[in-house]
Structure 1
């Protein structure tokens, strides 16, 4: 015969049931980030040609150029296919693009001499670009032309559907004047906007300040999102989401860190 007290047994049952319910509620109350914990994305370009690419990325960003603004990544098609396998789960598009930028002036293999490119006469906020001029007006047209080429001759289908990141680094050729360099990037952003595409800005704070400087609110760069480079770990990349954007009206939406020979990207949104 059982010697258990029925009242005590019922009390134990209620305690166990209450504990189980509390555990369920506690799990449900976890932040969405803790429950889902999407992993990082990756960016790849010509240095990864012929190499194994990362697997399981949540989003992929593919370089369009071969290291210089006037070249094409020979593995662009293959890498776009790779990016298309991204799993999602962040606020980033599954596939985005980045392009090299530069403002070489007289050192370039080509330089504009008018406000016309690709059969279009461009409304240039810096006035008329003329032969032999290397100031903001022709810099704007150079940027516009490079963006036009990136969207039309590099092998990108449906370019308007992508987010295009402008990769701004000291390794490429730049004018000594930050105004001309800013105009160059504004020309690129203007072209992408003209086809209905979005643009963003990639750099480190130190490189951006050296090349572009402070961007006024009147610039079409002012509200563009920032992708910040320079973190050395995932933890550092997460902290970078709280850093100031490259422009006063922008927001940091992606941060980059390097691990195991790959570029990893943390989504801040």
Structure 2
């Protein structure tokens, strides 16, 4: 084996509808159609796997823009017998390539072999199924490691498999299917791969009960096209799982065709550990940093996935916990009597809120309350950050840098200090919007920028 496969396949200019798509439509529908207008960032490609082994279905034309290569041979814990050949072919033709792997419900033997080993404690059947899903993902990762190939992204193929069916008669069975998929996604994330889901509406609903993973990219399958624009329309229609559609696929029985969606060329993306935070979205780096530092671990959903709820306002109690953890979770014994009239020692995050009070970061409202379940507004957030930074010496400007903040406004000094540090420069229209609540994604960004100060 040479070193050439230790890097990703080289980039290649994107193709337009002329050629590939026109041929695809003729083959799929038996029609001669005028070429549709090309979109500059849309790429057209194929996916290949064990059916394209020698003496099987044909390989794609070599002038395609990309390929997605199957790692498995129809079931998890198997390998595409022509995987090496397919990776070599993509590299030799200068084609960008990603990978995909099948998810399957385990046999009893697979549950015995893998259920007790993995990141979950194996204390329940749910945990054991998650561990098997993790093992399925690691089997795919092992294939990649053996080849020395890093595709950047591994898609998870979730569809009915007659050779090893997904149990789907009851809602409890469909929840168990989700456990397996959860484990597989975690294995890919832990191994540093971007990940997404390949499926179609009926299959996804049958297997998972319409599970919503709003942050996980979708590779949407159309099958044989019912009308010429069906594949393109998949890009803008609601997906089977609620996630953003990155790639749309269709087939003519010989070839599986693909096009990229959303104005993005074919390429790698970074997936969040949080299944409600999509790749290529603002503040992804900051949210992942927040989680990696243990400042916010989000919510654990019934399937075992994590959610961050990025576009939900952050409440004042959770904000106290964020600041306390950002400070390194210092040793602190909270008082037996609460400093706030609406907070007791039994209130969640009591120690963190009391610490905020004792540090002078949050003194509460004039009536003695803290209002833990109210959202944090953007002006108060500036004040908390200024005090957390030990109220540094700062002279506020004589003219407000924000169109909606006056020099006489409460927290004017803190707001302008925040701007001077680059933690928050306001909105493109020149406003700061001091009375609006802080969303959880923006809070991650503010803390990320505050941390070095």
The two structures have a TM-score, normalised by structure 2, of 0.44
SS across alignment from 2:229: helix
Partner of 2:288: none
Between the aligned partners of 1:144 and 1:260, the Cα distance in structure 2 is: 32
Q: How does 1:250-269 map to 2 (within 5 A)?
A: 250-259=243-252, 261-269=254-262
Partner of 1:106: 108
Relative contact order higher in (CA < 8 Å, ≥ 6 apart): 1
- Deviations along 1:100-128, one digit per CA (max 9) or x if unpaired, are 111134264854342x34xxxx1x3xxx3
Between the aligned partners of 1:237 and 1:209, the Cα distance in structure 2 is: 20
Between the aligned partners of 2:216 and 2:42, the Cα distance in structure 1 is: 24
1:71 aligns with 2:78: yes
- Aligned to 1:199, which of 195, 199, 211? 195
* 1:157 Cα offset (Å): 2.0
- RMSD across aligned positions (CA): 2.5
The verdict on how the C-alpha distance between 1:153 and 1:227 changes in structure 2, with shifts beyond 3 A counting, is closer
**Which ranges of structure 2 fall in alignment gaps of 5 or more residues?**
1-36, 263-453
* 1:77 Cα offset (Å): 1.1
The verdict on how the C-alpha distance between 1:167 and 1:80 changes in structure 2, with shifts beyond 3 A counting, is same
Moved more, 135-144 or 41-50: 135-144
Partner of 1:157: 148
1:187 aligns with 2:193: no
Between the aligned partners of 1:109 and 1:200, the Cα distance in structure 2 is: 24
Partner of 2:447: none
- Aligned to 2:59, which of 28, 32, 53? 53
Are 2:46 and 2:67, in contact at CA under 8 Å, matched by a contact in 1?
Answer: yes
SS across alignment from 1:184: helix
Partner of 2:122: 129
Q: How many residues align?
A: 214
Are 2:77 and 2:136, in contact at CA under 8 Å, matched by a contact in 1?
Answer: yes
- Aligned to 1:237, which of 224, 231, 234? 231
1:246 aligns with 2:240: yes
Are 1:105 and 1:111, in contact at CA under 8 Å, matched by a contact in 2?
Answer: no
* 1:39 Cα offset (Å): 5.3
The verdict on how the C-alpha distance between 1:175 and 1:242 changes in structure 2, with shifts beyond 3 A counting, is same
- Aligned to 1:145, which of 122, 127, 135? 135
Between the aligned partners of 1:190 and 1:58, the Cα distance in structure 2 is: 29
- Deviations along 1:143-172, one digit per CA (max 9) or x if unpaired, are 00011111114634244x521110011114
The verdict on how the C-alpha distance between 1:183 and 1:71 changes in structure 2, with shifts beyond 3 A counting, is same
Partner of 1:227: 219
Partner of 2:45: 41
The verdict on how the C-alpha distance between 1:86 and 1:168 changes in structure 2, with shifts beyond 3 A counting, is farther
* 1:36 Cα offset (Å): 4.6
The verdict on how the C-alpha distance between 1:73 and 1:148 changes in structure 2, with shifts beyond 3 A counting, is same
Are 1:238 and 1:255, in contact at CA under 8 Å, matched by a contact in 2?
Answer: yes
Between the aligned partners of 1:39 and 1:86, the Cα distance in structure 2 is: 16
- Which has the higher Rg, Structure 1 or Structure 2? 2
1:215 aligns with 2:217: no
**Which ranges of structure 1 fall in alignment gaps of 5 or more residues?**
1-32, 89-93
Instruction: Kindly indicate which of the two structures has a greater share of residues assigned to strand.
Output: 1
Between the aligned partners of 2:183 and 2:39, the Cα distance in structure 1 is: 42
* 1:200 Cα offset (Å): 0.5
* 1:76 Cα offset (Å): 0.3
1:81 aligns with 2:88: yes
* 1:67 Cα offset (Å): 1.4
Are 1:136 and 1:181, in contact at CA under 8 Å, matched by a contact in 2?
Answer: no
* 1:182 Cα offset (Å): 0.8
Between the aligned partners of 2:45 and 2:251, the Cα distance in structure 1 is: 12
* 1:53 Cα offset (Å): 1.0
SS across alignment from 1:34: coil
